[in-house]
Amino acid sequence: MQNKKIILHCDANNFYASCECALNPSIKDQPVAVTGEVSKRNGIVLAKNELAKKYGVKTGDVIFEAKRKCPDLVCVRPHHKVYEKYSRRIRSIYEEYTDKVEPFGIDECWLDITDTLKFFGSAMDVANTLRKRVKEELGLTISVGISFSKTFAKLGSDMKKPDAVTVISFDNFKSMTYHLPLSSIIGIGRKLEAKLNRLNIFTLGDLAKYDENIIKKKFGIVGEKLQKSVQGIDDDEVQSVNDRKIAKSVGNGTTTLVDVKNKKELRSVVMFLCDEIATRLRAKHLAGSTISVSIRKNDLSWSSKSHTIAKNTNTSKEIYLAAMDIIDQIWKETCPLRSIRISVSNLDSDNLTQMDLFDTQNNRNKLENTIDKIRQKYGYDSISPLITKNSKLINKEALRIEDDEDDDLF
């Protein structure tokens, strides 16, 4: 990989389940699954360890299905704060080898070691050192991909698991990857894969060799970039930890405890989600203008819509009002709702939001900032909107944080 970047992609294996086993060593030699709770309608497998995988347990299995495959399966409830703590500790290890560490979700990171490699030996030396340190210091394992681009480094970490290193070099990337399906690389989801299939493009090699003009015409700059990345032409930089990155979106989703039959019932859930989103926006010193809502009905169909308001906001009331307006447009109450997700995007620093001193919005901001301080001192549940207090629909344990969640590009 002479004259090329040297990029690692480190992926913590079976992260949630591995954290649980590190927390409780008595279960580490047993098949383990992190699951929701059956009585609260999120009783599925969220993650599993290698032993559970050998029995055929899969993410998304209903608990009784998983236990039918593996009668001795140990089911544990998720501890998201613990996972965040482990994630930060893993990143702190990575940052000892380079300042160019870019997270991808809670359990994956890219590292560009091009400029620091001279201090640590070969790329393989660094990869093996990272594997050893994470295992010894945290009790977790990682798989590492080594390559000249972010695309192939990530593909490398996916190719051999757990606790392994895979090298995809500029000399061998075609022979190693061109036979693989399109879904092997980041950026190609089900919808885009189906569209490419209709052009008789099924493998990475098919995409690399296809007429570039047709790809650009049909899929625009995103299609052009994907094609170039599989051709080995990829200048996407690994972001430095010193570069402040503004999130693309801040959102929450949840599955309700029972199906929601009308908008009056739904209001408490929407307010709960909007209050959570507004609180996190303020914590990040962000405000946004585009509110998006997606709903899933109990026939499993999805509907979604976005709306951009006049001014950036990070107050729960404004987000709530915009979300309810969208819901009025996409849900006619003919079919009960099972789940909902709301997000705010088009984000910018909240200190750029100009407000009239006599505007009620300014007073609202002061009120919600005061609420934040009370929660920091006495806990989140110490003060909350009245509409959410006694709701029998809100399932806090099924709350999903969906910050920066990018849907399929097409």
376 burial type by CB count under 10 A (0-12 exposed, 13-18 middle, 19+ buried)? exposed
- What does the pLDDT read at residue 396? 54
Which overall architecture, per CATH, does domain 249-401 show?
2-Layer Sandwich (3.30)
Do strands 142-147 and 165-168 pair parallel, antiparallel, or not at all (unpaired)?
Answer: parallel
Domain ranges of the chain: 1-174, 178-230, 249-401
The tokens for 133 are 């340190």
Backbone angles phi, psi at 211, to 5 degrees: -55, 120
Q: Tens digit of pLDDT for each residue in 14-62?
A: 999 999 999 999 999 999 999 977 665 557 898 999 999 999 999 888 8
Residue pair 306/292 in contact by the 8 Å Cβ criterion: yes
- What does the pLDDT read at residue 384? 58
- What does the pLDDT read at residue 334? 87
Catalytic residue among 20, 95, 102, 108: 108
Length of the chain in terms of residues written: 410
Which overall architecture, per CATH, does domain 1-174 show?
2-Layer Sandwich (3.30)
Whole-number Å distance between alpha carbons of 265 and 274: 15
> In the beta sheet, which residues pair with residue 179?
none
- What does the pLDDT read at residue 1? 47
Helix residue ranges, H only, 178-315: 190-197, 204-209, 212-230, 263-283
Q: Which residues contact 73 (CB under 8 A, 6 or more apart)?
A: 31, 32, 33, 52, 55, 57, 66, 67
- What does the pLDDT read at residue 255? 84
Can 237 be counted among the known catalytic residues? no
Q: Could you give the strand order of the β-sheet that contains 74-76, starting from the edge strand earlier in sequence?
A: 45-48, 32-35, 74-76
- What does the pLDDT read at residue 125? 97
- What does the pLDDT read at residue 299? 83
Q: Which amino acid is at 245?
A: K
- What does the pLDDT read at residue 344? 94
> Per-10-residue mean pLDDT for the chain, 410 residues long?
82 96 94 80 83 93 92 92 92 96 92 95 97 96 97 96 96 96 90 94 97 94 93 91 74 86 90 90 89 90 90 92 94 90 87 43 57 54 54 56 45
CATH T-level assignment (fold) for domain 178-230: DNA polymerase; domain 1 (1.10.150)
Do strands 101-103 and 108-112 pair parallel, antiparallel, or not at all (unpaired)?
Answer: antiparallel
- What does the pLDDT read at residue 26? 95
- What does the pLDDT read at residue 18? 96
- What does the pLDDT read at residue 394? 58
Residue pair 53/32 in contact by the 8 Å Cβ criterion: no
Whole-number Å distance between alpha carbons of 164 and 145: 9
